[in-house]
Amino acid sequence: MLEKDSNVDQLIDQFKTLPGGLLPLLHAVKQLLKCVPDSVVDPIAKGFNLSRAEVHGVISFYHDFNTHPGGHHTVQICRAEACQSMGSRHIESHAKQSLGIDYGETTADGLITLEPVYCLGNCACSPSVRIDDDIHARVDQSRFDQLMTELTTVNANTSGVSS
Amino acid sequence: MSLQIFIPQDTTALALGAEKVSSAMAHALERRGLNTNITRNGSRGMFWLEPLVEVQIGSARQAFGPVNASDVESILDAVQSNLDGTAKIDHPLHLGEVDQIDYLATQQRLTFKRSGVADPTCITSYQRLEGFVGLTKALSMTGQAIVDELKNSGLRGRGGAAFPAGIKWQTVLDTAGEQKYIVCNADEGDSGTFADRLLMESDPYQLIEGMTIAGLAVGANQGYIYLRSEYPVAHKILNIAIERATDAGFLGANVCNSGRDFFLEVRLGAGAYICGEETSLLESLEGKRGMVRTKPPLPAIEGLFGKPTVVNNVLTLGAVASILEQGSDTYKNFGMGRSRGTLAVQLAGNVKRGGLIELAFGVTLRQVVEDFGCGTFSGRPIRAIQMGGPLGAFLPESQWDTPLDYEAFAAIKAMIGHGGIVVFDDTVDMAAQARFAMEFCVIESCGKCTPCRIGSTRGVEVIDRIVANEDRDNNLILLHDLCDTMELGSLCAMGGMTPFPVRSALTYFKEDFGISSSRDH
């Protein structure tokens, strides 16, 4: 944890002089720690000469800045209109049921966090699902199951996460 | 005869398996001992054909699609048996020469003319395709002459508000200030839209060129592209393009040895739809909560960090490059009425042939959906079309003959917005869609003004009561009253236009709310 603290301090030093540097910093913190925890609010406030309330206000405004780490993979299902027109509501309920979690929750094995997303810009080939930085088109229920199986298999082979 | 193979690397092609196709192709070429390059091009925007593989034999680019990794061997067989180009290529996925495909051949591509032609990050290809011609011209012009050219083109902001771009630039030019900024709004959050993404992923130098021209015109030396975090592929490609353009002297200090500077940086959003609203975007760029600002002051006078700022959409800035290249008279010869030039229509949702369709203003919605779209993906009848994103009205069939023109759409209380068209078949529940419009506003409101923040929450509740037939008549009156309050009392389009989809659903699809169609509410 100490090492991470010093890494965060380095990032603060790196971004505090950049005009409008708070969002780039928060993205960098999220990349480092997989989230933007409450513990970084104080050092960021000091480094940027802001109040803790201002820093907290920015973190809590944006959907991307989760304060607790999610699972190994983030699975986002598009809820926007184009995907709705192609049956994304069914994918949403199927995903929640088959993974046994609601939006914002992580599976018990720590593998998958499920999130809603509002448009991935892939609207001509809906419904769309994003897994980490990969976007998948025309996802129906069986394709969704297939993608989840791939995640489980890959992780069982590489990181030892039980499935 | 030499062969060259093109496999797209844009988000949609990748989402449909282009990476697997590319690696299968590389293996197949190696096995066959063919020394053929695979170029990862951008997409042509014919998304229903992705992954669309093109094989260039001589000067003709033969298209195949949609291609699976398992189709690669048979495509190479068909191509290899016809290397002299005399016989007809015999393959079930063969679509003919890519330029001759109806969907593409019937468009008027100005902004998207280079999309899918070459590797989007290759600066030499960009120059070979008339890239940086506009910038070169702009470098020899005064700021005022550039702004005049833009005014003459009639270009209006393509983000949705359709404000004349030349007038915005004139205001920034006329405002005194040592430091000015060019901000590109690449927070393309409307469902059904992907034109910004396609341009950034398939022709990023055009955006860079347009922004540099804007900088020269108004006297700004710093630009920011505010890109939504939902576009990781665009992010990667833009960063590569900016680095290469800087190395080649088209960006940074002393642009093309002109003595003028223009620095450009991509900044990522963080998943907030409201940051597509220009003042909220500026707040976010400054590192703050994306809260909408009151206007005045206009961003053109007090924008980013309080300095005069041009805020334009990706497509507006992209069009600038082609206007300077081809001349404003050429551009304004396209279109109708006060809607000049071309519109990048994005056909999406439940549609058979979805994609990017660039057309002169004036074509009707029905022509786009029927001629290009060829009906629904599900094969069922179309019931409703939502144009202009989540704040756009739902249009019943009686309105599909409206020409794509800003004023014609405003006249039916609808909007063209950013040009997104989402098609729904007859299984759609329009009460659920109206409820979603309010729900989306609850989730994405910045919270600054009460009609938007609270009104949307009450809106969801009232719609639920109407559908459940709880005191329906009075709740309908309440919903209209609430919509009035949101329209008239909200600071920006988020709260001000959320009533558009709600009211249109209620007016044209009232049976879905349990209201008999003979009654008039």
> Do B412 and B487 belong to one domain?
no
Q: Is residue A114 one of the residues assigned to a domain?
A: yes
Quote ipTM for the complex. 0.95
Question: Quick one: A7 and A57 in the same domain?
Answer: yes
Show residues of chain A in contact with B271, CB under 8 Å: 62-64, 117
Closest-CA distance, B425 to chain A, in angstroms, reads 7
pLDDT digits (tens, 9 = 90+) for B421-444: 999 999 999 999 999 999 999 999
Is residue B186 domain-shared with residue B302, that is, in the same domain?
Answer: yes
Q: Which amino acid, one-letter code, is at B329?
A: D
Band the pLDDT of B370: cuts 50, 70, 90.
Answer: very high
Confidence of residue B35 (pLDDT cuts 50, 70, 90): confident
Helices (H) and strands (E) in chain A, counts: 7, 4
- The verdict on a CB contact (< 8 Å) between A121 and B11 is yes
pLDDT higher than 80, residue A125? yes
H/E element, B434: helix B430-444
> Does residue A12 lie within any of the structural domains?
yes
Considering the domain architecture, whether residues A102 and A147 belong to the same structural domain is answered as: yes
Q: Using CA atoms, how far apart are residues B434 and B499, in angstroms rounded to an integer?
A: 9
The number of distinct structural domains making up chain B is 4
User: From the list A19, A23, A130, which residue is nearest B284 (CB)?
Assistant: A23
Domain range enclosing A147:
73-158
pLDDT for res B82: 80
**Are B253 and B272 within one domain?**
yes
Both B227 and B374 in a single domain? no
The answer to whether residue B201 neighbours chain A at the CB level (below 8 Å) is no
SS3 B188: coil
**What is the residue range of B7's domain?**
3-105
Q: Are residues B79 and B146 in the same domain?
A: no
Number of domains in chain A: 2
Q: Give the domain CATH number at B471.
A: 1.20.1440.230
Q: Is the pLDDT of residue B516 over 90?
A: no
- For the segment B360-374, the average pLDDT, to the nearest whole number, is 97
Residue B89 lies in a domain: yes
Are A142 and A88 in a shared domain? Answer: yes
Q: What CATH code is carried by the domain that includes residue B416?
A: 3.10.20.600
Of A61, A88, A110, the position where a domain reaches its end is: A61
β-partners of residue B310 are: B182
Q: Tens digits of per-residue pLDDT, B95-112? A: 999 999 999 999 999 999
CB contact under 8 A, B270 and A63: yes
Q: Are A32 and A11 in contact (CB under 8 A)?
A: yes
| Cβ of residue B420 closer than 8 Å to a chain A Cβ | yes
Q: Do B349 and A123 touch (CB under 8 A)?
A: yes
pLDDT of residue A163: 35
Closest-CA residue of B relative to A28 is B268
B190 and B325 assigned to the same domain = yes
Instruction: Tell whether B103 is within 8 A of chain A (Cβ).
Output: no
In the block, which residue shows the tokens 């190994």? Answer: A72
CATH (domain of A132): 3.40.30.10
Q: Clarify whether residues A82 and A142 are in a common domain.
A: yes
CATH code of the domain covering residue B85 = 3.40.30.10
CATH number of residue B168's parent domain: 3.40.50.11540
Q: In the A/B pair of chains, how many CB contacts fall below 8 A?
A: 147
Q: How many Å apart are CA B291 and CA B274, to the nearest integer? A: 8
> Predicted confidence band at A2 (pLDDT cuts at 50, 70, 90)?
low
Tell whether B312 and B359 lie within a shared domain: no
